[in-house]
Structure 1
Amino acid sequence: MTVFSIKNVGVFNGEAIERPTELYFQGSPGNILDNDLGTAGTIDGTNCTLIPGLIDAKIDGDASTAMLPKFATFGVTTLIDSSSGTAESSAMREASARNAAMPSYLASGSPVGSGGSDSDAFKKFPYRSIRQISTPAEAESFVATHSTGPVRSDFIKVIAEDPGLDDDTLVALVEAAHRRGMLAVAHASQTSAYRRVMEAGFDVVTPAPITGALDSDVVRGFAEKKIAVIPTLYFLRHIMRMGKIDEHNFSFAVDAVRILHQAGVPICAGTSANDEEGFTVGFGDALHEELKLLVEAGLSNKEVLQAATSVPSEVFRLHDRGTLKPGTRADLVLVEGNPLEDIAASLRIVKVWIHGVEVGNGEQSEGEDNGE
């Protein structure tokens, strides 16, 4: 076992920054360790903070395998794709698995929807393909097909805009997913769709609503059911500036994030990062912009870091990451400064490791021996 240490560093423990301290981790592939088992290399973390690898909870990777190292460079070590088609997602999985220094990749495969009546979603959001169904029986078949075998999805994604799939079909999709231990993620940008998502029992919804203010009973229902929200504020601001929605729509989204957060609804950071012409949002850098917007929407710096680490790991059941506890993956980001004082410090990246592999090396880190 090859062990490395980062010394004299502030470590974000999920609630505060412990400093100065020392963290040990195993190299390629490797986890965080609770003690020194004989280090092969030491990295000096003076004036730096160590945070868990960031999780982008909403991307649209298509089959753009070249985006993987871009995300990694920006400290994004786990990608959750709920927009790309099934074939494209398979290609991305293979590319991620081939190189230990690339981000982990999870995906829903092709989202499911009614195809015709919810076509307005295509005008504002870059869904490349939607699997069309119309009945509860077809919902059951869709989930069964995507729960096993070569086209298995990590979770299901449903277009829940109104009008669209009827309530019985939405419920059938959620119940079929839950019977198979899968999460049900909804696309809902309307306040009316948020109510339908709540009533159907979805686990996650994206983006933040843009058509009006949420009713108090819907906010309360989201909090009671712990339905997580991925606001994608950076993407919404981007399409606002492109004229696809107006400033009033965007203000509804920001207000919704503030109200949902105050009510205790889990908030996950996600970007809808994509390279679709007319919708393009950068791979990796956009997540850091999303963090700033979440601060503006009322989250503290600590809560914003949680939204990009421990909260999505909990929501998406990725219990091997999202924290810096011994035994979890050595997905690590070393940044200059203190992101609890200045969230922009998240972008002042010194080094990144994915499962103990230093990004940029392509192989196990050799550390930086300072003679101590």
Structure 2
Amino acid sequence: MGTTIVGARVFDGERSIGPATVVLSDAGTIDAVEPGEREPVEGEVDARGRTLLPGLIDAHVHLRGAGNLGQDLRHGVTTVLDMFSAPPQFTAMLRRRAYSRDDEADLRSSGLMAGAVDGWPAVMLPPDPTGWRMPGLAGPDDAERFVADREREGSDYLKVFVENAADVTRPTLSPETVAAVCGAARRRRLLTVAHAPTRWAFATARAAGVDVLTHLPLDGTAEVAADLTVVPTMTMMAALTSQDSVRALLDDPRLTARLSSEVVAGLEAGDRGGLPTSSAVGASYAHAEDNLARLLEAGATVVAGTDANDVPGRPAAVLHGTSMHLELELLVRAGMSPADALAAATSRAADVFALADRGRIAPGRRADLLLVDGDPLSDVTATRDLRTVWRRGVEHDLSSPVHAPGRDVVGPPRRR
């Protein structure tokens, strides 16, 4: 028998439709959305006074272990978009888990990122005991083969590392190679996403035809336009410019309630998972915030993503799950309305990344849902008051937060 959720204010992914009854099927989809108020009957979920919204989609993460996906779901993030994980066997294992389990977030991934031979991001990886080495591109002629290999491995979209060779210590892709990668991806109908944290990278990626720009320039004013699609990762931009960025997390017990006590203690002691602050001249969070405000004014498409990258069970400056709630607050501070920020983390993320089955509360969509206390359309931080998350219709009670256990679980399914 399916689940019936009665009386919640419903944010359908685009707007509030007021109080409604939402009926879920046994197949893990939404059967019906019936606007209006009524009394719940026995066996139904009484959601009066709360808000129901689509499960959150984090459009920029990096996976370091299966525990990341459980931590995401514990914080109401039902889908994550991985923007670089390696080796391919690791990504394939996580895909299989996400497909078969409903106690972890669902997963889409770029797989390997396009970068230069012996350059970024290959140098970030520890030596592989099997002898595997991450492939790189020496020039435009390598683009076709690189993209074909990622398609064969099942990449859902393609990530490209774009940096000015003058700004980093390792080889980087030339603008011509970035353009060749974009062309090869378009021929295979693969979306391209660029790492673009500087004005040079932002402009170069745009000129090359990249579909989605991720990060925002910290080094000054970027050129903006209505046709841009951007994942700002404001949480990471804050972390890159301030050692104290984790105070925003530590100062709100709602954000630490589902983290392990070891992680919280590490954060309190100043452990940021090894992330340094930017050494670039003039790097400032104010530049990122100003660039986002200008993008919004220009009518650009903005999608929510955090750049979460923690090793499960260890501290980091940007943590899976909980950082999405910080991201929503930072988006609103930069000028987005709460409704627009929530759309950026639900329907808009689904539209940009072709996730047609989720991101909205509507008949036929996946029953990936989040129930929270309060009204995040008035105060976006109300998303932190988690009550219940449904992943493909499977219900998990989050109303009594406890520090996360060592194994990969969300919490017991609620029994009525």
Give TM class, smaller chain: 0.7 to 0.9
Could you say which residue in structure 2 is the equivalent of 1:193? 201
1:18 and 2:26 aligned:
no
Which of 105, 113, 116 matches 1:114?
A: 116
Q: Following TM superposition, by how much is the alpha carbon of 1:172 offset from its aligned partner in structure 2, in angstroms? A: 1.2
Which stretch shows the higher mean deviation, 163-172 or 327-336? 163-172
Could you say which residue in structure 2 is the equivalent of 1:233? 234
Which of 289, 295, 310 matches 1:275?
A: 310
1:34 and 2:38 aligned:
no
Q: Following TM superposition, by how much is the alpha carbon of 1:91 offset from its aligned partner in structure 2, in angstroms? A: 2.3
Computed over aligned residues only, the root mean square deviation of the Cα atoms, in angstroms, reads 2.6
Runs of 5+ in structure 2 lacking a partner? 35-40, 127-132, 166-171, 244-275, 398-408
1:81 and 2:116 aligned:
no
TM-score of the superposed pair, with normalisation by structure 2:
0.78
Q: Separation in 1 of the partners of 2:388 and 2:76?
A: 8
Change (3 A) 1:122 1:271: farther
Q: Following TM superposition, by how much is the alpha carbon of 1:263 offset from its aligned partner in structure 2, in angstroms? A: 1.0
Q: Following TM superposition, by how much is the alpha carbon of 1:40 offset from its aligned partner in structure 2, in angstroms? A: 9.2
Could you say which residue in structure 2 is the equivalent of 1:303? 340
Which of 213, 224, 227 matches 2:221?
A: 213
Q: Separation in 2 of the partners of 1:340 and 1:82?
A: 29
Q: Is the 8 A contact 1:40 1:367 kept in 2?
A: no
Q: Following TM superposition, by how much is the alpha carbon of 1:14 offset from its aligned partner in structure 2, in angstroms? A: 3.2
Q: Following TM superposition, by how much is the alpha carbon of 1:41 offset from its aligned partner in structure 2, in angstroms? A: 3.5
Q: Separation in 1 of the partners of 2:42 and 2:193?
A: 43
Which of 299, 323, 340 matches 1:264?
A: 299
Question: What is the aligned residue count?
Answer: 350
Which of 350, 366, 387 matches 1:313?
A: 350
Q: Is the 8 A contact 1:230 1:270 kept in 2?
A: yes
1:66 and 2:76 aligned:
no
Q: Is the 8 A contact 2:3 2:25 kept in 1?
A: yes
Q: Separation in 2 of the partners of 1:137 and 1:171?
A: 11
Q: Following TM superposition, by how much is the alpha carbon of 1:347 offset from its aligned partner in structure 2, in angstroms? A: 0.9
Q: Separation in 1 of the partners of 2:71 and 2:315?
A: 20
Q: Is the 8 A contact 2:372 2:384 kept in 1?
A: yes
Q: Separation in 2 of the partners of 1:100 and 1:248?
A: 41
SS across alignment from 1:299: coil
Could you say which residue in structure 2 is the equivalent of 1:140? 144
SS across alignment from 1:154: coil
SS across alignment from 2:43: strand
Which of 341, 346, 349 matches 2:378?
A: 341
Q: Is the 8 A contact 2:233 2:307 kept in 1?
A: yes
Deviation per CA, 1:142-171: give whole Å up to 9, x if none: 0011112xx221111110112332222111
SS across alignment from 1:70: helix
TM-score of the superposed pair, with normalisation by structure 1:
0.87
Q: Is the 8 A contact 2:232 2:292 kept in 1?
A: yes
Deviation per CA, 1:179-210: give whole Å up to 9, x if none: 11111111111111111111111111111111
Q: Is the 8 A contact 1:41 1:366 kept in 2?
A: no
SS across alignment from 1:24: strand
Change (3 A) 1:67 1:362: closer
SS across alignment from 2:151: coil
Runs of 5+ in structure 1 lacking a partner? none
Q: Following TM superposition, by how much is the alpha carbon of 1:278 offset from its aligned partner in structure 2, in angstroms? A: 8.3
SS across alignment from 1:275: coil
SS across alignment from 1:340: coil
Q: Separation in 1 of the partners of 2:183 and 2:337?
A: 35
Read off the aligned partner of 1:229 and give its amino acid letter. Answer: V
Could you say which residue in structure 2 is the equivalent of 1:8? 7
Read off the aligned partner of 1:141 and give its amino acid letter. Answer: R
Identity value in percent: 33
Q: Is the 8 A contact 1:41 1:367 kept in 2?
A: no
Q: Is the 8 A contact 2:28 2:366 kept in 1?
A: yes
Q: Separation in 1 of the partners of 2:145 and 2:283?
A: 40
Q: Following TM superposition, by how much is the alpha carbon of 1:249 offset from its aligned partner in structure 2, in angstroms? A: 2.1
Q: Following TM superposition, by how much is the alpha carbon of 1:111 offset from its aligned partner in structure 2, in angstroms? A: 0.7
Which stretch shows the higher mean deviation, 197-206 or 90-99? 90-99
Deviation per CA, 1:228-259: give whole Å up to 9, x if none: 21111111212322351278421111111111
SS across alignment from 1:214: coil
Q: Is the 8 A contact 1:4 1:42 kept in 2?
A: yes
